[in-house]
Structure 1
């Protein structure tokens, strides 16, 4: 059993643009990850949820690796101007990206 000491379940929501680099980074660290397509958040954009099983001592290392591979970026959201006779959108800068990470304790792990 290669992964017998799994004690943490990490779920990392990353932007679609960062997915390949995040998966490559985890693979280089020999950290298995399950990738699920997801969407939501403020902009309702497509993103990815990575599910990762970890031993206790790898949690901080994986968080640091994901922080290097998942970057924040500025995108512009067109908001119509209120009270304008023409529907002229006003671009508003929005910071998106990075990663949202949840870590939960694992009471039981089985591999068969």
Structure 2
């Protein structure tokens, strides 16, 4: 058995959870925050038999597409240098970061 940690953009989470559950996969959804953009994302925990791993990975790839977005960096604390005006920056958002780990033991109690 495998445990998949899939960290996805909040905009993709609902569709991904719905698609996975429609296909018969169990999913646990956690609200999390990314460290780089300080933006909300969703971490999904998905337990799956080794033979079904590729099926889940394909669903994640189909649903979680990357796209361009514009963010405004946070203003630093004002100091002796004057006023800082943040410039919006284009970044790539979406997609998924996926970790797959072996499960030594699984029990549903």
Q: Same fold (TM over 0.5)?
A: yes
- Cα shift at 1:89: 3.2
Moved over 3 A (4+): 85-89
Distance of 2:86 and 2:107 partners within structure 1: 53
| Structure with higher strand content | 1
Residue ranges of structure 1 left out of the alignment (5+ in a row): 1-6
What number of residue pairs does the alignment pair up?
Answer: 103
2:40 is the counterpart of 1:50: no
TM-score, normalised relative to structure 2: 0.85
Write the distance in 2 (CA, Å) between the matches of 1:103 and 1:21. Answer: 21
TM-score, with length taken from structure 1: 0.83
Q: Which residue of 2 aligns with 1:105?
A: 102
Q: Which runs of 5+ in 2 are unaligned?
A: 76-81
User: C-alpha deviations, 1:16-74, integer Å up to 9, x for none?
Assistant: 10011000110111000000110023101011110010000111110110111112121
The offset of 1:86, in angstroms, is 6.0
